[in-house]
Structure 1
Amino acid sequence: MYRLKPGIKQNPQRRWELPDRIFFGHGACHILAGTYLEIAPLKGFHAERIIPGDGFAGNHIFVTDGEIAFDFHGYSLRNKLLLHHTSGWARVSDPGWYCRIEDVDFNLLDTRALNARKMLGPDQYFGDPRIRARSFLERIDHIDSVKKLARNVD
């Protein structure tokens, strides 16, 4: 599990300068998920949120169709993404780390809705993360990625 150096998340320019996968994996996952849903490269996806227990870190938002998931890692099986995320946070956190999974019922690109949940809105970054997310998503062959995933599962 990648750990950011202290102070990066508090410095908008240093955060912005992170490589895409780290940027979207450490604080801007909601922007990537919201942009994915806006562009809809594959139909039938919705956003889910991993919410750690009180006092724990490890919030994460990804999109899924219930079986396949997408986040900054790319496409994976939903159950594998959840296992990777939860076991990683349980390993590096204080004992007793736990979480719950919820469907996202708010606009992932709306600053007011995001701020109410202690997340930055798209206009609160050093640059425009929606443009960055679109560029990230455009570099992926979504259909081929899902086909490869299905072949590896069979």
Structure 2
Amino acid sequence: MYFLRHGIKKNPEKFWALPDRIFFGYGACPILAGVFLSYPPLDGFYGERIIPSGNHYGNHIYVTNGVIAFDHHGYSSRERLLEHHKRGWASHSADWHCTLEKVDFDLLDTAELNRRKMRGPDQYLQDPIPRARRFLQRIDHAAAATRALKIATR
């Protein structure tokens, strides 16, 4: 698991300059999930949110159909994504725990995201929505989802 150096997320230029996978994995995950759901390359997906307990870091939003999931890493089994995320954060804090919540708000609405301590699309150096669209367009969603499903159902 990759962790950003202190201060990068608060520096708009440095944060925007991160590679796409890091940008969408460490702060802009709701934007990637929101664009996925606005222009769904596959049917049956919904947003899901990892909410750390207490004052711990590790909030994350991804999309899932309940079996496979998609985030900045690409497609994987939902269980593998959750295990990877939990293992990474627990390695920094032994008492790290989380709850899961189905997203019931617009992931591209700034007020809704701010209410949950996340940035909205208009709070980045540039508009992240076209960046998310380009990121999603580079993926063969059907093939990647099929591979993830085969692994998830073994």
Q: How does the TM-score come out when normalised to structure 1?
A: 0.96
For structure 1, the residue ranges without an aligned partner over 5 or more in a row are: none
Give the superposed CA RMSD.
Answer: 1.0
In 1, the alpha carbon distance for the partners of 2:91 and 2:62 equals: 21
Amino acid at match of 1:44: G
In 1, the alpha carbon distance for the partners of 2:78 and 2:129 equals: 24
Amino acid at match of 1:50: I
Match of 1:90 in 2: 90
Segment drifting more, 70-79 vs 143-152: 143-152
In 1, the alpha carbon distance for the partners of 2:117 and 2:65 equals: 26
SS in 2 for 1:47: strand
Does the Cα contact within 8 Å between 2:53 and 2:97 map onto a contact in 1? yes
CA shift, 1:149, in A, is 2.2
Match of 2:56 in 1: 56
Identity across aligned pairs (percent)? Answer: 58
Match of 1:20 in 2: 20
Mapping for residues 1-154 of structure 1, pairs under 5 Å: 1-93=1-93, 95-153=94-152, 154=154
Q: How does the TM-score come out when normalised to structure 2?
A: 0.96
In 2, the alpha carbon distance for the partners of 1:151 and 1:64 equals: 15
Does the Cα contact within 8 Å between 2:76 and 2:149 map onto a contact in 1? no
CA shift, 1:96, in A, is 1.0
CA shift, 1:101, in A, is 0.3
Does the Cα contact within 8 Å between 2:69 and 2:81 map onto a contact in 1? yes
Amino acid at match of 2:77: L
For structure 2, the residue ranges without an aligned partner over 5 or more in a row are: none
SS in 2 for 1:92: coil
In 2, the alpha carbon distance for the partners of 1:112 and 1:49 equals: 17
Q: Once superposed, which parts of structure 1, at least 4 consecutive aligned residues long, lie more than 6 Å away?
A: none
In 1, the alpha carbon distance for the partners of 2:128 and 2:111 equals: 16
* Count of residue pairs the alignment pairs up: 153
SS in 2 for 1:6: coil
Q: Deviations over 1:37-85 (max 9, x none)?
A: 0010000000000000011000000000000100000000001100110
Q: Deviations over 1:74-102 (max 9, x none)?
A: 00000110011011101112x31100000
